[in-house]
Structure 1
Amino acid sequence: MFKRESEPQRFKSRIAELLMSGSVGTPAWRGGRHFFSRRTPEQEHAVYYAVDADGTERVLVDPMALDPTGLTTLDAVQPDKEGRLLAYQISVGGDEESVLYVIDVATGARVEGPIDRCRYSPIAWLPGGEAFYYVRRLPSTEVPENERQFHRRVYLHRVGTSTEDDVLIFGDGMKMTNYYGVSVSRDGRWLQISASEGTAPRNDLWVADLEVSTPERPELSVVQEGVDAQTGLVFGRDGRLYVHTDRDAPRARVCVTDPAEPGHDSWRDLIPQDEEAVLSDFAILDGLERPVMLVGWTRHAISEITVHDLATGERLGEVPTPGLGTIGGISERPEGGHEAWFGYTDNTNPPSIQHYDARTGETTLWAASPGAVEVPPVRTEQVVYRSKDGTDVRMLIISPVDGEGPRPTILYGYGGFGLSMTPGYSASILAWVEAGGVYAIANLRGGGEEGEDWHRAGMLANKQNVFDDFHAAAVHLVETGVTTTAQLGISGGSNGGLLVGAALTQRPELYSAVVCSAPLLDMVRYEKFGLGATWNVEYGTAEDPEQFGWLHAYSPYHQVRESVSYPATLFTVFGSDTRVHPLHAWKMCAALQHASSGDRPILLRNETEVGHGARSISRTVDLSADTLTFLAKHLGL
């Protein structure tokens, strides 16, 4: 049970206990093997395993074995199509500068690498494991110093040969901020390449038939180009091409066509757009007399899976799920079959892997997170409130099961890049609620909870909608008695750091404490640092006079005013963050310290040898404990 210890230790020890649940990842099936990740209670990082056909389990990649300091993180993995080789990518100290290696699955011997400059690179294996397509940045010697994070290209690499002999496939002469996707169909016949300008919610897409052109010189045909939509392809074992797209369908749909005619004019709806739910994923189970498609949806941020006839799209039923939570990607065997696996979590259940059998229609637990933890009882409800312009917005409120408000409350949000805030196991949230607080998560515009229209209602010229939604959430919590302004704190990181930075400058009287993590705060100059140049498709660019106006109007750094009593604020930044430079928080912290007329502290927590993303469990515990302790002190928990 929760122990009333000294303030810092009380949160630190409890968060550590709750994180002893460990974690488990969805399996990938290749040949006679399957691959998955698992973190046991005593481990700092998840370990990647292979399981042979006879059930023998072997460690393939253990970040702590590679680096006992805990500073090395496993960024990505991709087994080849036969399950004989594994490509994996690691980085050190949080810099996310992924280095690629290939190992022999049977022996663990390294057969390739290191190959550097592979940040955010997909790996697309050709059959036989002799070659793969991947994405790599140009050498730093070939580009200006301030552009070294950009200039990606798609290459073909043959295992065992020098990267100097890699064949350039795609990307020359295109925008320096482009990101590329690349994949090869299960049978090795079809190559798919996509290109997005930075994080834009649209992509160009090409395919090549490798039976009529060579892997080194694929003859690419346009699927879509210059279209304001996101589209991806799955080449079915039945010979049909399945198209997952939000073109003419902001909540997304699945279409079918002939791979030989992949263009939009030939698409036919199989799973039409739903009026409420966002279509997020699908899997094909064709090892049945009547093949089916499993379709994953999020309905107001809650996940569900439906079952459809593969030929007609007719809805046949639903996949039973453990509760009202979040479902990870649905996976099936590449060769087909009747089984599917998916991850599941909610606010009180650590990640688990569920197994669905289409023959029986039953879902059973396939693998649980390995640690046994005592999770406190909490009450979770989803409420609807009205924003400034009358838009209905949803919010998840997690609170103690006993007693009523008002209570010290943390309001969290993100509101950007089409990312959805969905239920999930969080040691920090549980520790806070167990201590008597309330935790609220707002599904703001700019996210993806209600589809692409919802995202676009909070980007570019519409960014102020996100902040208005957040202020309205705070007002709702106060007006309904959940909390008071003296007990209300806000928290956000990255784009969410921009959110709470704007909130504290626009409505300083509404919030008593702020935790602002790895934030964007100088929106006039954000493009000049880190990966900022890839985000002007989300925020706008200061190079354009009209867009400069949008940015300057809400840029938190530029909206600091003297003689204002600002909330108690803690900035947390990370020395190896190559996405969002810590300078944003450094400048903002200094500006607030200078300008604030109140006596509440403005503090900076600067952490070295970690970055924007993955980190070891012990470093996670330290950060979470410090931020909760700060909020508890200033909210009266």
Structure 2
Amino acid sequence: MFQINHSFPIMKTKTILLMSSMLLTLAGARAAGIHYPDAKRVDTVDVYFGTPVPDPYRWLEDDNSAETAAWVAAENKLTADYLAKIPFRNAVRKRITELADYEKRGAPFKVKGKYYHFRNDGLQNQSVLYVQDALDAPARVVLDPNKLSTDGTVALQQLNFSNDGRYMAYVITRNGSDWNEIFVMDLTTGETLPDHIVWAKFTDAQWLGDGFFYSAYDAPEDAKSSKNEFHKVYYHRLGTPQTDDYVEYRSMTEPLMFYQAMVTEDERYIFILETDGDGNALYVKDLHDRNPHYVRLADDMRYTNNPIGVDHGKIYVMTNQDAPQWKIVSFDAEHPSAASRADFVPEMQWVLSSASLANHRFILTYDRDAASHAYVYDEQGREQYEIELPTFGSVSFNCKKDDPEVFYSFTSFTFPTSTYVLNLRTGLTKLLFRPNLAFNPDLYVTEQVFYPSKDGARVPMFLIYKKGLKRDGKRPVFLYGYGGFNISMNPAFSYSRTPFAMLDMGGICAYTNLRGGGEYGESWHEAGTKMKKQNVFD
């Protein structure tokens, strides 16, 4: 099992206003008499393979120019003035605010016997990290990211804990930039150490001994426009300046590759993931080897290889190589080599979406018709039983290789995110937290239907509406569809996306899982890309 990156939900209260605007548009507000700000046209023409392509609004791509800022401000003023005249706007906004303003919690995760979780009291921009000595003990604040800046421009991205539980590295970003900074907190005192990493990007902090690995570029001459090349993995030792950090891994010939380190909890194995943004190569180094060095396990970047962990003398990897629906393979951990690869859990009918080690067993989650189904597998790769979930929805797990306690969160369209603990020794599941909000799920119906696309493909769609509603073809319908980037759109509660205010007025919400997404594997994804993109809209 690897050190875990702990991410968390970020609340954005501005979404309430955006949702209000969407509902008001659906209500049929007319745009008659609106005079939009003039957008000048320029004589910019690019020539592609001998064909001239005009781009008259190229100037708007400069989002730092005063001219662009003035045009955006005028557009925003027009929109705000129009929305302010709609008489029931405040009622809709009040309902959405009621749905947003409730306590939210993430699933707990354990670090050296302590239980950590993220919590949001309702409308906080960022969730707060808490710790408990036991699941029923009082919680105390560890880190409140809302206090990292006075103007809300600093966002917490992820956390990594040292394996002895004493330190916590946290990664932040400023002003929406993809540049990262890393700080370290001493959890025994609550103090932030002088260690400060800058110019990091696409990284976390993977602990080894009294320091951690991170990924970064050389400091750019101009952070806004400089081209980033030769991503590297560095090692930082606590108490030393960043200038003393050494390069653990880099390429001398591939300037556009990205690199990430992963360290097992026992700090024996270091993995390096090398990617061009699509698939990835995978390398491993055994620190117990007499001559520690990186060994290639996979190098075909058409495929993705995600390490799950090391146990039972084997390295376990989740991969889509030779398996469009994904499978789990193993490698010899004592003598790692690509030649030692063997199938562990073969490819199934449904898409394998996640895999974790827990109490020397495996928690596997499959997507079946765009909904999560979770199973426990034994150390031989055999299915033991399915974890019962409340309804079709989305599930995510926090677990450790040596611990029987498995924490998970579950959500669906009318099921706000709740958290549970499963004891793998007893097989018993216990509800830990269910939010209390101004919403009664029993008033709504969620059903899944299937319809034929233009070419006959069977496409899934979820319908949400109030119980007792007569579906007579005269109801307003909010249709939300997505199909792209191999991303699955599984059921989840969202006050900002599901228009409950409209449902309360007799409307229907429809979510459709279009081709181009990842719900049914690579063939489903490819059927909505490139020359087949029209399938998404048909």
Which TM bucket (shorter chain)?
0.7 to 0.9
Aligned partner of 2:262 among 183, 190, 193: 183
Deviation at 1:411, TM superposition (A): 2.2
Aligned partner of 1:23 among 92, 100, 104: 104
| Aligned match of 2:482 | 414
Alignment pair present for 1:436 and 2:436: no
CA contact (8 A) 2:102 2:123 kept: no
| Aligned match of 2:430 | 364
Alpha-carbon distance in structure 2 between the residues aligned to 1:177 and 1:395: 39
Between Structure 1 and Structure 2, how many residues are aligned? 449
| Aligned match of 1:61 | 143
In the TM superposition, what whole-angstrom CA distance separates every residue of 1:141-188 from its partner, at most 9, and x where no partner exists?
29993414x542211111121111111122333544433332101110
The within-5 A match list for 1:285-304 is 285-286=358-359, 292-304=361-373
| Aligned match of 2:218 | 138
Deviation at 1:53, TM superposition (A): 5.6
Deviation at 1:296, TM superposition (A): 1.3
Match of 2:487, SS?
Answer: coil
Deviation at 1:456, TM superposition (A): 2.8
| Aligned match of 1:394 | 460
Aligned partner of 2:127 among 19, 28, 46: 46
Match of 1:116, SS?
Answer: strand
Alpha-carbon distance in structure 2 between the residues aligned to 1:178 and 1:61: 33
Alpha-carbon distance in structure 2 between the residues aligned to 1:124 and 1:445: 36
Aligned partner of 2:450 among 384, 399, 409: 384
Amino acid at match of 1:434: D
Deviation at 1:366, TM superposition (A): 2.0
CA contact (8 A) 1:385 1:393 kept: yes
Alpha-carbon distance in structure 2 between the residues aligned to 1:213 and 1:439: 61
CA contact (8 A) 2:120 2:126 kept: yes
Deviation at 1:93, TM superposition (A): 3.3
Alpha-carbon distance in structure 2 between the residues aligned to 1:395 and 1:18: 24
Alpha-carbon distance in structure 2 between the residues aligned to 1:352 and 1:333: 20
| Alpha-carbon spacing, 1:60–1:143, altered in 2? closer, same or farther (3 Å) | closer
| Aligned match of 1:250 | 324
Deviation at 1:255, TM superposition (A): 2.1
Alignment pair present for 1:374 and 2:439: yes
CA contact (8 A) 1:50 1:105 kept: no
Alignment pair present for 1:108 and 2:185: no
| Alpha-carbon spacing, 1:63–1:309, altered in 2? closer, same or farther (3 Å) | closer
Amino acid at match of 2:276: E
Structure 2, unaligned stretches of length 5 or more?
1-23, 25-85
CA contact (8 A) 2:449 2:460 kept: yes
In the TM superposition, what whole-angstrom CA distance separates every residue of 1:221-275 from its partner, at most 9, and x where no partner exists?
1111134211122333432211211111111111223124444442322221111
| Aligned match of 2:289 | 212
The within-5 A match list for 1:144-183 is 145-148=225-228, 151-183=230-262
TM-score of the aligned structures, taking structure 1 as reference length? 0.66
Aligned partner of 2:536 among 469, 490, 504: 469
In the TM superposition, what whole-angstrom CA distance separates every residue of 1:384-428 from its partner, at most 9, and x where no partner exists?
222233322222222333222332222223322221101001113
Deviation at 1:310, TM superposition (A): 1.4
CA contact (8 A) 1:136 1:154 kept: yes
| Aligned match of 1:271 | 345
| Alpha-carbon spacing, 1:433–1:257, altered in 2? closer, same or farther (3 Å) | same
Deviation at 1:439, TM superposition (A): 2.2
The within-5 A match list for 1:587-626 is none
Alpha-carbon distance in structure 2 between the residues aligned to 1:213 and 1:141: 41
| Aligned match of 2:302 | 228
| Alpha-carbon spacing, 1:105–1:283, altered in 2? closer, same or farther (3 Å) | same
Alpha-carbon distance in structure 2 between the residues aligned to 1:442 and 1:378: 18
Alpha-carbon distance in structure 2 between the residues aligned to 1:176 and 1:124: 23
Amino acid at match of 1:413: G
CA contact (8 A) 1:241 1:259 kept: yes
Q: Please tell me the root mean square deviation across aligned C-alpha atoms, in Å.
A: 2.6
| Aligned match of 1:196 | 275
| Aligned match of 2:389 | 321
The within-5 A match list for 1:30-41 is 30-41=111-122
| Alpha-carbon spacing, 1:172–1:265, altered in 2? closer, same or farther (3 Å) | closer
Match of 2:93, SS?
Answer: helix
Deviation at 1:349, TM superposition (A): 1.6
Structure with the higher strand share, 1 or 2: 2
Deviation at 1:97, TM superposition (A): 3.2
CA contact (8 A) 2:283 2:294 kept: yes
| Aligned match of 2:403 | 337
Alignment pair present for 1:125 and 2:245: no
Alpha-carbon distance in structure 1 between the residues aligned to 2:305 and 2:454: 33
Alpha-carbon distance in structure 2 between the residues aligned to 1:408 and 1:138: 54
CA contact (8 A) 1:213 1:219 kept: no
Amino acid at match of 1:158: R
Deviation at 1:319, TM superposition (A): 1.1
Structure 1, unaligned stretches of length 5 or more?
473-637
CA contact (8 A) 1:103 1:112 kept: no
CA contact (8 A) 1:418 1:446 kept: yes
Aligned partner of 1:84 among 138, 159, 166: 166
TM-score of the aligned structures, taking structure 2 as reference length? 0.77
| Aligned match of 1:95 | 177
In the TM superposition, what whole-angstrom CA distance separates every residue of 1:32-76 from its partner, at most 9, and x where no partner exists?
222221111253320012223694532122122223433332111
Alpha-carbon distance in structure 2 between the residues aligned to 1:393 and 1:307: 29
Could you list the structure 1 runs, at least 4 aligned residues long, displaced by more than 6 angstroms after superposition. Answer: none
Amino acid at match of 2:126: H
CA contact (8 A) 1:419 1:448 kept: yes
CA contact (8 A) 2:410 2:417 kept: yes
